Chain A
Amino acid sequence: MNAKENYERIQTGDVVEGRAFTVTTETIQDFGDASLDYNPLHFDPNWMEKNDFGGTSFNGVIMHGMQNFALITRTLTDWLVPRGGYHRRLETRWIKPVKLGDTITPEAKVIRKNPTDGGHWVQFEVIVKNQHGEPVATGQALAEFRDTIPA
């Protein structure tokens, strides 16, 4: 199938359900070891108890914000690769800190399709929610459908 045919199979309103992810000291350690981000925000419960970040007290270690980013990326790429799409852009904002024991689940939705002079683009709206249904991160993503891999 060519890029245009793949693009035409994507529908506005398509929902991409991510897998649930539970945050443990082990997942935080793994993410630190992957990212090299050893900020005590994620590793030092005592420091986090006593530190007041300009009025925001977290009462314990928090998950790396970029773990959200990586899980959103996984959700999108796992869906796009078999459909012939390429993940081209991701923009995220963190809404709420994610703590030990929280379970977060990303979801993306196709909100618009944009043919351009040279390509076929799909816009996604992204939200990551915790186990209470509260948003912890939001974002927008762009995928491109093309006949050859980028660059």
Chain B
Amino acid sequence: MNVMGEDFETDFWKEVNDRATWDMIVPGELRETRPVTLTKKIIQDFARKVGEDNPLYFDEEYAKSTPYGGIVAPPSIHILLMFACTTSKDWMRSPGTINAGQNWYYNAPIRPDDTITMRGTALDKFIKKDRLFAVHENLFTNQHGQVVCTGRGQTIRPV
């Protein structure tokens, strides 16, 4: 079972025709997003399944003894947020979308029960050789309006 529970649609073919193709992606346009609350269970399920075992994410007593002052999410939690905060019609779900590289900056740690809001756009699109690329840009903030992380990535769009 995925970390967000059974409501998440795991069949990426289902709404394939509702998703923007490369031609339809408009750089600068906002992607539809929704806020997500990350419980301790979600954070720990995510951490375990991506291979994390640092007690900073699992052991409250240990985490309290560190400067973090309690359990936090691994920085890589944005990998989950990219899909948890977007809708099933989002073009990042198009079958055949190939990740070509990413860069992420981490500002503040995410803690259990934080509610995270995503602002996402396609920043740019281009063609290199015969491949269609889209550049996506994302900003995640917590319930205090504080930036938690920002990131940019490139995907090769399916044709």
Contact = CB atoms under 8 A, between A and B. Distances in A.
Interface of A: 21, 27, 30-41, 47, 51, 53-55, 64-67, 69-71, 73-74, 77-78, 81, 84, 86-94, 148-151
B146 interface: yes
A30 to B, nearest CB: 4
Given A65-B99, A77-B75, A91-B104, 19 more contacts: A27-B51, A30-B49, A33-B2, A34-B79, A34-B80, A35-B50, A35-B82, A36-B84, A38-B12, A38-B93, A69-B76, A70-B50, A70-B51, A74-B51, A88-B105, A88-B106, A91-B101, A92-B103, A93-B101
Interface of B: 1-4, 8, 10-13, 45-46, 48-52, 54, 56, 66-69, 74-76, 79-80, 82-84, 93, 95-109, 130-131, 146-147, 156, 158-159
Contacts of B108: 149-151
B74 A77 contact: yes
Contacts of A33: 1-3, 45, 49
B104 A90 contact: yes
Contact of B103 (A36, A55, A64, A90): A90
Contacts of A65: 98-99, 102
Given A73-B76, A150-B109, A66 B104 contact: no
Given A94-B101, A149-B68, A87 B106 contact: yes
B101 to A, nearest CB: 4
Nearest to A37: B83
Contact of B51 (A21, A35, A81): A21
A150 B149 CA distance: 11
A74 to B, nearest CB: 6
Contact of B76 (A37, A70, A81, A150): A70
B120 to A, nearest CB: 15
Given A34-B50, A93-B101, A94-B100, A40 B76 contact: no
Q: Which of B74, B76, B83 lies at the interface centre, i.e. has the most chain A CB atoms within 10 A of its CB? A: B76
A59 B1 CA distance: 27
B95 A41 contact: yes
29 contacts: A27-B51, A31-B49, A32-B10, A34-B2, A34-B80, A36-B80, A38-B12, A39-B95, A40-B96, A41-B95, A41-B96, A41-B97, A41-B98, A69-B76, A70-B52, A70-B76, A73-B75, A74-B50, A77-B54, A89-B105, A91-B101, A91-B102, A92-B103, A148-B67, A149-B69, A149-B108, A150-B109, A151-B108, A151-B147
